[in-house]
Structure 1
Amino acid sequence: MELRIFTEPQQGAGYDQLLAVARRAEETGFAAFFRSDHYLKMGSVSGDPGPTDAWTTLAGLARDTTRIRLGTLMSAATFRLPGPLAITVAQVDQMSGGRVELGIGTGWYAEEHAAYGIPFPPLGERFDRLEEQLAIITGLWSTPAGTTFDFPGTYYPVSDSPALPKPVQRPRPPILLGGMGPKRTPRLAARYADEFNLPFASLDDTTAQFRRVRDACAEIGRDPSTMVWSNALVLCCGRDDAEVARRAEAIGREPAELRANGAAGTPAEVVETLGRYAEAGAGRVYLQVLDLADLDHLELVAAEVMPRL
């Protein structure tokens, strides 16, 4: 199983702190550094120093790291137009030497849209817009050089686009889709996703949703083995119960709750939890690190969890 680091900067983190986490993740052997794409904090934390833009952050990390892969869980389709997003991701892919991945979803956090003047249509329309965005982004990237791209969209009509720039990765940077939607989510994943991700889902929910996506793949004749299957889980690992409790307190959570719902406990407990997700079909896990100042947390997982997977 591959381990990746996942952060939530809207809860309070500037670029320098994110860079420190990304570099430590790179140094200790994690496969990727991902971040959320939100403009407003959640819960009672202050959120200081305020939000950072996901793709601006990734552009900086593209130049300030060398090996680790970089991406979003998940960019909100409501935040950006599909053409400019395709350009941005392609440019960051070039800046990183081909290390970028695009996680994208409908957007769900109404309050952040209200806080920054971003339109937030009903869910059905957001799915319609996401589907058009996926068609346009993949279409722009796959259009042969020297030809143009057209798309007769309802929300995003495109005409006579030169479909430039191209990303370094061919045929394209990996696209991640995810979520528990029972119908449209599996269909969109089967058609467009290189990876399907479930955030903070139980083993039972993971098994059921993975099955729905596999069924959707079968309906269009896609081999499910061509897709990466992944989960995201909160990380709270300690050498003993006292260290687990200290790390849980630092993020405002209870050890028992984290053990039930995340990747928590001693290294042996975390390995056991990840093993159960592997049995459910996950080949990759994003470990959500909420205390970004605790770089020793990454060191512990790299030393005592990663080698046992």
Structure 2
Amino acid sequence: MKVGLQIPDFTYPGGPATLGADLAAIAKAADDAGFATVAVMDHFFQIGVVGPPENDMLEAYTTLGYLAAHTSRAKLLTLVTGTVYRQPGLLAKIISTLDVLSGGRAWLGVGAAWNDEESRGLGFPFPPVAERFERLEETVQICLRMWAGDETPYNGRHYQLERPLNRPQPLSRPHPPIMIGGGGEKKTLRLVARYAQACNLFPGPDLARKLDVLRAHCEAEGRDYDEIVKTVYYVYDVGQGTQKIVDDLGHLAELGFSEALGQVKDAHRLTPLETVGAEVIPAVAAL
């Protein structure tokens, strides 16, 4: 079982003046401690479960590019990018750039998007859910085409690319892994089975059923279920004791998850990251 860090909150005691240094310290501490992943949200306003929309929120890929320079081993991704936030050709180029500059550590985390408040606030299109899923599938198709070096025109329902040129190509082979986030059983998990190398689910009593649904979609798509990396969102709170974390991750591993990816409470203090690195990561490494 691998341990991954997501950084959802950028409102720290020092404010914007020390935010760059604080983030660099968090990323380096997580990388040194053995976290497999350093991820950020892809939102423009803070989301309600974390804080008010007025709290500090950084643009995701600028942030990941910065964090790439302060890490050397952890994979880098968003959890996850709303497909309507960037044109697919630009998104493929962004991930390619991050992969090259990080030495092959970029993943594409992507989903159908849900936060209409920030889209309305900043003037982003936010089409109905059915269209967002259509755009999500076309986005993934375009990224795969560009990462394969296929420059032939793409003519989709929503996107048309005359020449999807992508240079330099990513270092990751055959391409940066794709994580499709969300647990929707009819559309999201079907797209995972069709295209993705990883999924991300939120914890709850229905986790086992979600994996069964994914398995069924894999069978329908002729896909090997076992080759998909199953990740689950998890909040690391060392204040509750690291044994509880180890026990929780053991249960998740028994269900079939191979990475627990999520927030570490008070990560900006760094000690919680070091504690997870010293007491949790070695304890769950063999699960």
TM-score by length of 2: 0.91
Q: Do the aligned partners of 1:6 and 1:33 also contact (CA within 8 Å) in 2?
A: yes
Q: Displacement of 1:41 after TM fit?
A: 1.4
Name the counterpart of 2:105.
99
**Post-superposition shift, 1:46?**
5.5
Q: What is residue 31 of structure 2 aligned with on the other side?
A: 26
TM-score normalised to the size of structure 1? 0.85
The answer for the alignment partner of 1:127 in structure 2 is 133
Q: Judging changes above 3 Å, is the alpha-carbon distance between structure 1 residues 49 and 207 closer, same or farther for their aligned structure 2 residues? A: closer
Secondary structure at the residue paired with 2:5? strand
- Aligned letter for 1:161? P
Say whether the 8 Å CA contact 1:141–1:172 is kept in structure 2.
yes
Q: Which residue of 1 aligns with 2:171?
A: 168
* Structure with the largest fraction of strand: 1
RMSD, aligned CA: 1.8
Verify: 1:294 aligned to 2:230, yes or no.
no
1:56 alignment partner, one of 62, 78, 93: 62
Q: Report percent identity of matched pairs.
A: 36
| Equivalent residue number for residue 208 of structure 2 | 207
* Paired AA for residue 270 in structure 1: I
State the shift of 1:304 in Å.
1.2
Structure 2: which amino acid aligns with 1:80?
Answer: R
1:222 has 2:223 as partner: yes
SS of equivalent residue, structure 2 residue 72: coil
Match of 1:273? Answer: 248
List gaps (5 residues or longer) in structure 2.
none
Larger relative CO (CA 8 A, sep 6+): 1 or 2?
A: 2
Structure 1 residue matching 2:162: 3-state secondary structure: strand
Deviation of 1:117 (Å): 1.4
**1:32-71 mapped onto 2 (5 Å cutoff):** 32-43=37-48, 45=51, 50-71=56-77
Amino acid at match of 2:4: R
- 1:139 equivalent in structure 2: 145
The superposition leaves residues 71-105 of structure 1 with CA deviations (integer Å, 9 ceiling, x where unpaired) of 11001111100001101110111000101111001
CA contact (8 A) 2:46 2:55 kept: no
- Cα deviation for residue 289 of structure 1 reads 2.3
What runs of 5+ residues in structure 1 fail to find an aligned partner? 238-243, 245-264
1:199-254 per-position Cα deviation (integer Å, ceiling 9, x unaligned) = 3x21x3211111111111111111111110110111211xxxxxx2xxxxxxxxxx
Query: What residue number does 2:185 align with?
Result: 182
